[in-house]
Amino acid sequence: MVRLGLNGDSGALITLRDLGKTYHRGSEELHVLQGINLDVDKGDFVAFMGPSGSGKSTLLNLVGGLDVPTTGSVTVAGDEITRLSGSRLTAWRARHVGFVFQLYNLIPVLSALRNVELPLLLTPLSRTERRRHVETALSVVGLKDRAQHKPRELSGGQQQRVAIARAIVADPTFLLCDEPTGDLDRKSADEILELLERLVDDHGKTVLMVTHDPRAAERAHAVLHLDKGVLT
């Protein structure tokens, strides 16, 4: 269950308390996010919507440990990540977050298999074990037969599915999706959203998604609006 505006310890999977981010442009101050309070439970599927410049991506970056907030805290599975720094944060990210980007961000010179394998290289798994996980992930997204293809040999939808396989292969605590259907045609977009739904319903994944697409938002359990840095 997703809850806004609570204080104190809630036992949720992801807890944001009084989260704020301010950028300084010369002498100007830009308050991109202000006073965000949010609880997300395991198995939730949350969509964040809002106009351009509302701070959606910034919120995602903070939750994913890609950026550091100006005020407030982010707690995931009991770890207050805003206290972590540098390499500890990187290690945390590898373990807990699966990213899905609008532009897929696959490594163009590597095959689908090797792209999906990347997060596992940060684990102590052996080569055979890694390969097993990769095959499983690719099967889940339905692209086992495309394992040896390079990204440029795959359609947009297929590339995004590979990206999702990469995001889940290391069994992260939650998935962060930044406009996952933004670059896809209607049909592919629907396929991707279906896949995300399956991951949540059948595999118990937790998904936080930023999107413009109202049809994407429909599939989520909860839709939150971000406007001028305030979450509603």
Partner 1 sequence: MALPLVYNVESVRARWTASIVAVLGIAGSVGVFVAMLALANGFRAAVVTSGSPENLMVRRAGATSEIDSAVNLEQLRAIEDAPEVRRGSAGPLVSPEVVVIAALPLKKTGTDANVQLRGVYARALEVHDRVRIVRGRFFRPGLYELVVGGNATESYRNLGLGDAVSLGGSVFTVVGVFDAGGSAFDSEVWVDADVLIPTYQRPRGFYQSVTARLAAPDALDGLKRRLEADPRFTVQIERETDYYARASRMMTGMILGLGSLVAVVMGVGAVFGALNTMYSAVAERSREIATLRALGFGAGAMVGSFVVEALLISAVGGLVGCAAVLPINGLTTSTLNFQTFSHLAFAFQVTPSLLAGGLAFALLMGLCGGVPPAIRAARLPVAVALRDL
Using CB under 8 A as the binding rule, whether residue 190 contacts partner 1 is answered as no
Using CB under 8 A as the binding rule, whether residue 30 contacts partner 1 is answered as no
Using CB under 8 A as the binding rule, whether residue 161 contacts partner 1 is answered as no
Question: Where does the chain show beta strands of DSSP type E?
Answer: 2-4, 14-25, 28-40, 45-49, 71-76, 79-80, 97-100, 174-178, 207-210, 222-227, 230-231
Using CB under 8 A as the binding rule, whether residue 90 contacts partner 1 is answered as yes
Residue 44 vs 178, nearer CB to partner 1: 178
Least CB distance to partner 1 at residue 118 (A): 6
Q: Other CB atoms closer than 10 Å to residue 176's CB: what's the count?
A: 25
Identify the sign of the CA torsion 8, 88, 66, 186.
negative
Using CB under 8 A as the binding rule, whether residue 119 contacts partner 1 is answered as yes
Report the alpha-carbon distance of residue 123 to residue 154 in Å, rounded: 28
Report the alpha-carbon distance of residue 218 to residue 105 in Å, rounded: 25
Using CB under 8 A as the binding rule, whether residue 222 contacts partner 1 is answered as no
Using CB under 8 A as the binding rule, whether residue 87 contacts partner 1 is answered as yes
Using CB under 8 A as the binding rule, whether residue 105 contacts partner 1 is answered as yes
97-112 core/surface letters (b: 16 or more CB in 10 A; e: else) = bbbbbbebebeeeebb
Using CB under 8 A as the binding rule, whether residue 6 contacts partner 1 is answered as no
Applying CB under 8 A, which of residues 4, 107, 203, 214 lies at the interface with partner 1?
107
Least CB distance to partner 1 at residue 224 (A): 21
Residue identified by tokens 């209607």 is 186
Site string for partner 1, 31-60 (x = CB under 8 A): --------------------------x---
Q: Count Cα atoms within 13 angstroms, Cβ side, for 23.
A: 9
Least CB distance to partner 1 at residue 115 (A): 10
Applying CB under 8 A, which of residues 10, 123, 136, 173 lies at the interface with partner 1?
123
Dihedral, 210, 216, 220, 222 alpha carbons, nearest 10: 60
CB 179 within 8 A of CB 198: no
Judged by the rule CB under 8 A, the positions of this chain that interact with partner 1 are: 57, 61, 64, 66-67, 86-87, 90-91, 93-95, 99, 101-103, 105-110, 114, 117-119, 121-123, 166
